[in-house]
Amino acid sequence: MQNRKVLLTGVTGFLGSHTTIQLLKKGYSVKGTLRDLNRRERIENIIKKHNAKLENLSFEVIDLSDSLDKWKEAMVGVDFVVHIASPFPTTLPKDENELILPAKNGTLNILKAARYAGVRRVVMTSSSGAAVYGDRKNGIFSEKSWTNVANKSDTTPYFRSKTIAEQAAWDYVNAEQNTIELATILPGAILGPVLDKNDYGTSANLVKKMMDGSMPALPKIGFEMVDVRSVADAHLKALEHPSAKGNRYLCTNGYLQLKDISKILRKEFPKYKIPSSTLPDFAVRLFSLLDKETRPILNDLGAKRLIDSSKIRNELGWKPISLTSSVIDTAESLIQLKIVQ
């Protein structure tokens, strides 16, 4: 697989940068897509710190809303595609199509351009949110589960966008009778070392809020979680493993409530005033009227959506980093980057 070229969408993002580092370390050449060339120097400096080969990294300025022809130009000389980029808001948008249309149309243009260019395999980042919402709030979910996008009371626009984009991808590949190989990775809430103080995930933001005092009490919610380095590794395994073709893989390493994260942080970082008390559900709902960032988590109040991740472990030999290590490494990176003082 060495010296093969991978087009990776969303190179500057939390997962995109970690995946790029692992691909470069394994000998791949990476063409990373970004929307703004001004971010090139920052991402190069981040990747340089992790001993990845910058000479094997190039960039393409392109957006999910760009034309099919532009994506065809970007695919020239590419062997594989890792499609990570997806519109992700910190607050709920007024019009859900701001997320859904670029996610769906961008994915289809990438697949069509990849097929046109003779790309061997596309690995696409979906989300566990494309499998566990809109049906039931409790129980165990597998890759056979799909989020019911018609149930808007138990789905967010983001999870609807991820579900619709992944379904469109499978519909396209199946209609083309597998002339292009597709595998999808569905991570849970992603923790792990933050590399860029300006771009990190919502789960790392939860850890930040616990450490900087902006979350004085804990909502009684939890999520299936996973380390960003393990998600990056899952993408590489799906890229390389012959049997990954035609499969979706839920990619999580266990369920943590916010109180579980708080317990780990209080033990490891005693000088910080980490909250330990919980907030009644009605108080969380009231608070969400003031704090727009809280609204997307309301669907998880009173829910316990568990995931069976045995498929990716058994078929791809995936061995994730422990969630305790993930929480600690997230916090240490936030301190190191002075996101938390």
Q: Which residues does the annotation mark as catalytic?
A: 162
At position 271, the amino acid (one-letter code) is: K
What are the backbone dihedrals phi and psi of residue 305, each rounded to the nearest 5 degrees, phi first? -95, 105
Whether residue 268 contacts residue 331, with contact meaning beta carbons closer than 8 Å, is answered with: yes
Tokens of 328: 């600690």
Half-sphere exposure of 118 (CA within 13 A, CB side): 2
The CA distance from 234 to 316, in Å, is 8
DSSP string across 141-204 = E-TT----TT-GGG--HHHHHHHHHHHHHHHHHHHTTTSSEEEEEEE-EEES---BTTB--HHH
Report the amino acid identity of residue 213: G
Strand partners, 184: 124, 248
How far, in Å, CA of 101 to CA of 65, rounded?
Answer: 8
Q: Give the Cα separation of 157 and 24 in Å (integer).
A: 34
Residues belonging to the chain: 341
Q: How far is CA 83 from the centre of its chain?
A: 11
- Structural tokens at position 299: 């669907």
Residues forming a β-bridge with 58? 31
Q: Are 49 and 59 in contact (CB under 8 A)?
A: no
**What b/e string do you get for 166-201 counting C-beta neighbours within 10 Å, with b at 16 or more?**
bbbbeebbeeeeeebbbbbbbbbbbbbbbbbeebbb
